[in-house]
A and B are shown apart, each in its own frame.
Chain A
Amino acid sequence: MGERPAFDFRGNILRALADGQLRRNLQSAMDGLIRKRRAVFDDPAELEALRTVGQSLKQAALSRLPALLEELEANCTANGIQVHWAETAAEANRLVLAICQGERATRVVKGKSMVTEEIGLNHFLADHGVEVLETDLGEFIIQLAGEPPSHIIVPAVHKNRDQIARLFHARIPGAPYTEKVEELNAIARRTLRQKFFEGQVGVSGVNFAVARTGSLCLVENEGNGRMCTTVPPVHIALMGLEKVVARLEDLPPLLRLLTGSATGQIVTTYVNLISGPRRPGEKDGPRELHLILLDNGRSRILADPELRQTLQCIRCGTCLNHCPVYVRIGGHAYGFVYPGPIGEVLTPQLEGLARAGVLATASSLCQACGEVCPVRIPLPDLIRRMRTDGACQGPGGPEDGCRPPLWESLAWKIWALVNTHPGLNALGNALLGRFGRRLPRRGPLAAWSAVRTPPRFAPKSLHALAVKEGLPHE
């Protein structure tokens, strides 16, 4: 993965907030997703019980991850799946390229996969002469637009129908201008259909990998995923290490949590369970099936008992949908592949605090994300942890890349001094009461006062009033 351009979070935010169309597109899409989720999880007690099951299944898997991965490797291998291990994004990319080159493949069709976005696979393959075609409708749209996904589940959610109509007309040869959804779908279908048969290698992600049976589970709604995994002669599946679960019986609750949280469905249109390449006598399926297990920082995350919970994530995107910040700035503003609350936690861990620690400021810690997470990741606590690590106060001492701003560290030291010495506190309150209303509107107060009247400090604090009232004090 090459160095990304400088990450201008502030600029991204301001541009997104100024984009009224984006705001309307996101609000209506998120409202719809929230409504659908609520409708499918209509029994709160059942949902809470299910979330607990999901959390324990993922935690149990993570607690013996190395053993499960070895079991997965053994059983996949027995099933005829070729298993590869990639420690870094670069290694994973090279593995995919080598398989493509071995096949003399120049055309790859791809199902929706966040992990391939994480490693920048499309760009890497394109740079080496392999054309990648995204076949998920949303991914297809943003590939046409030359944009990264703006949402984990709904990658083109930032675009509305009119914008897609213009894009298709401009970028797909021979496509007429139409705003009718059915016609737009038909255009995409026609374009993609042919490409499936031309694709020499199919690439997909994995939602869950079952260690005991050596099976890969993929859910989708368009059938494109199944096309990618069955039509081309070679299928390459990529997964982060954390996607492994112990048994087939673990899937039903996890699938219900995933699809219910992601799209408000009880079950997706397609649930694919892949347990090997085409066997003699079978009519379809690839000749070769490869599974790439990607670490890319995950074993480091696993080593920290608190941060480990990040790896429980099943990539449902519901924390994005419920986030008051995400709905206002959209996924692109976050500058990296994973946006929203999970991105604020995962990205600094993958990319380092120096590059991405700033993401953790984009939360009011309202806890909406933690409340809906289907596997009970304590997202607000982990966002706070990112801030703590960023201020070099993490449990493990100074972390790589933490850069506490000097003025802020100093401000908190003074704050602590005042709030631990009642005399100083009384003096501070008296000064605020006397001069607080005349504080110059600079720094934090300038930011505050742009849309609000400044706080009106009371002439007498409650401490002072309590004495006047004759309240007993100790």
Chain B
Amino acid sequence: MKAKVKLEKKPQGLTFQDLILQLSQFWMKQGCVLQQPYDVEMGAGTMHPETFLRVLGPHAYRVGYVQPSRRPADGRYGENPNRLYKHSQFQVILKPSPVDVQDIYLKSLGAMGIHLQEHDIRFEEDNWESPTLGAWGIGWQVLLDGLEITQFTYFQQSGGIDLDPISVELTYGLERIGAFLQGTESVYDLRWSADMTYGQIRLREEQQFSAYSFDRSDASAIRSEFELHEKQAKELLDGFKGLEGEDRVRYPLLAAYDHCLKCSHLFNLLDARGVISTTERAALMARVRTLACRTAAAYLVQMGGSVSQREVRA
């Protein structure tokens, strides 16, 4: 064995924050608007209005942003090295989908410091579906030496509406990619900045929110919150009917969508608490989906587009 000449090894790979910066810069150069995380709790970057609503209608759009994604049932009290209550996704929407989208995506891996020639990168079938959003798409999980690093999806439907044109959604799992680049076994050892680790910054959050969502949340209070948000969303959506001109343009559909997002997160909390029976589970999901689909249809009307509810061909 070699003598330990150097006490400190040069740290390997990008820091977590550098990774976000590199991806942001790369996609900015591809013409993306750099957006910010949405300030309502959500389970995935897809639920951000910059994806869920922007993919609707005919207008071209390119956007990239980080979205902290809360999945209460995935929490592990900060004890599991790979599973988190809240993880970070870097989300990119390219609308319409460019013909060389796979090549552009691969270049983004280069921007993170991955030399494509030295690795085994493949696109393996993985179709995506969100029953609560009435959304689905066709695509792959991208595997880097066997590790799933990105969900790559050609969106087909959002809010129950057939999309035209088709958007590509790229969702990078930042913690996984970061851990890969730095060669760490646990997400908590990931260097966030030059001198702080992911654990130093986020561990307490994981511990406390796991404890909250598994052990301490008040299920009956959450149920009533769900009802309240659903009620408001419905009222807002009902009020949109028949509006014309400026009244229609300024109508707060975005607020209706916020309430829909709230419902989705509250549902996830109930689920994590283990208080939902099978039948109730399906019913609650259907209620959220109804709000999402109604919002999407109203949004299209507001944007001046027509709602195409064409039957999807198999």
A and B: bona fide binding partners: no
Chain B residues in the interface with A (C-beta under 8 A): none
